[in-house]
Amino acid sequence: MEMKIGKLDWLFLVLCLLLGILAEEAFFRDKIGISYFVFILAFYAVFMWRYRRFPFSHQRIGYLVICCIWLLSASYFLNDNLFFYALNILVIPCLVLFHLVLVTSPKTFKWNQSAFVSYFFTRLLDAVKYNAAFAGLFGKGLKQGVAEDKLIIWKKVMIGVLISVPVLLIVLRLLMSADTQFERLIGNIPDWFHIFDTEGVIRFIIILFCTAAFFGFMQVLIKKQIKVMKQQTDHQVVQLDSIITITVLILINTVYVLFTLVQFKYFFSGTLQGDFTYAEYARKGFFELLFVTLINLSITVAVLTFVNRTTSLMKRLTQVMLTVLVLASSVMLSSAFLRLSLYEDAYGFSFIRVLVHSFMIFLAVIFTYTLVKIWIEKLSLLHFYFISSLIYFTVITVIDLDKIVVKENLNRYEVSGKIDVHYLNHLSSTGVLGLIELYEKDKHIPELETILLERQDEAKSDSHAWQSYNLKRTQVTEKLLNLQLN
């Protein structure tokens, strides 16, 4: 790859180096807290400076994505949920990459088509090629002024070192086994190199890697694209036969309708049927949900996308069959929702159960839109699925589902007198806040005071760097220190 590096590019490289240093400080020093938000702020400041004269495209969807990125990064500062903490370490970088490629792609390029996926990975590959070419250019600069014969000598020396390493390892092992004094001498060699900071070297490598990633990717995106992947409007799409498809739909729908009619009382009676336990009842509901998600929704999308509806009769028949399929799926989704509610009434609320409940509501929205799409063909499924999924994930991350879990468990305790203090203790900082609130209401709950004493001792000795600053953890620490325990 032939390249020309100007003064502005060198200045941008320095800024990327500073970003690399900040990335290492933000993510590899301590538990992530406010540092994620600070890094995103700095990253987009550098990005906007580099692209200050760039004509961005797809700005409406771009604004939505960047708002979600900001909110998700702020969740590390606002909340303390381990599940979203781990998940967003991957989700946020993926969204940032998607956003950068999206707003720098050609205005005529549609992001909600499969061609965009290929375009996205092409841009990533171009960034790797750019960094390789830049490294080669940098290497040529280092070679200038050095005699060619000296370079050849150093290359041969390095080759000799690489060849001798495996031989030396074998010989040293044999000699150490043969002589204890020699083994002790060799074993003390690492003590001679205490000035060698291994951790510092690793951190330096991380900084270089981050700098190269930021620099190469943003340099590639700002270059004018000579080749843009041509979107075929008349490309051949694999099409399914409409008669075969309708036959399949009729058979599937017949089973669903019969199943729904026979089991209607079983679905919505709100009581256990037969010999089922509560656990079995809820577990069956979850598998129904999984079945609805993976099978029925997949069938509906596949039919809407790939079936060739040649005549108006076939078109109407397909629409009717898909409508029945979606409605039958909605019945099973409602059944799963009610079953899980029954399980929560018996055993209490947990993060997973509340998360599944929220996902069921999200699926209801998806099915509603899909039902409309069946009759209004001009609507885009991928467009809505992506936007609704992004909004759903952002909302459940920011609102703190643990707070809902704690609130519902405290309400359940008021009614039934049952509560699992150990679960709340292991939930998150929000769970500890719930335990403190519970203790202020009733100090005689078994093991509650012991748990809070342990938490209080941890709070007295707990200290974190600025990177880990979190509002929820700070609130818990203050309340624990001010809590009067017997």
Count of beta carbons in the 10 Å neighbourhood of residue 393: 18
Contacts of 256 (CB under 8 A, 6+ apart): 324, 325, 328, 329, 332
How far apart are the C-alpha atoms of 422 and 89, rounded to whole Å?
Answer: 28
Number of alpha carbons in the 13 Å side-chain half-sphere of residue 20: 20
pLDDT of 215 reads 92
85-88 contacts: CB < 8 A, separation 24 or more? 85/32, 88/397
Q: Are 244 and 308 in contact (CB under 8 A)?
A: no
Token pair of 138 as six digits: 């940098």
DSSP 201-237: HHHHHHHHHHHHHHHHHHHHHHSPPS--PPPPSS---
How far apart are the C-alpha atoms of 263 and 281, rounded to whole Å?
Answer: 14
pLDDT of 486 reads 64
Q: Which stretches of 144-275 are DSSP H helices?
A: 148-178, 180-187, 198-222, 242-262, 264-268
pTM for this entry: 0.81
pLDDT of 382 reads 86
Count of beta carbons in the 10 Å neighbourhood of residue 307: 20
Over the chain (486 residues), the average pLDDT of each successive run of 10 is 72 93 90 93 95 90 95 93 91 94 87 83 89 74 58 71 74 69 66 58 88 91 60 54 85 82 59 56 60 79 79 86 88 80 81 89 91 88 91 94 91 86 89 89 86 86 83 89 79
N-to-C CA span, the chain: 72
CA–CA distance from 467 to each of 235, 377, 430, 463 (Å)?
51, 49, 20, 11
How far apart are the C-alpha atoms of 309 and 239, rounded to whole Å?
Answer: 10
pLDDT of 262 reads 66
How far apart are the C-alpha atoms of 93 and 99, rounded to whole Å?
Answer: 10
pLDDT of 291 reads 72
How far apart are the C-alpha atoms of 364 and 72, rounded to whole Å?
Answer: 24
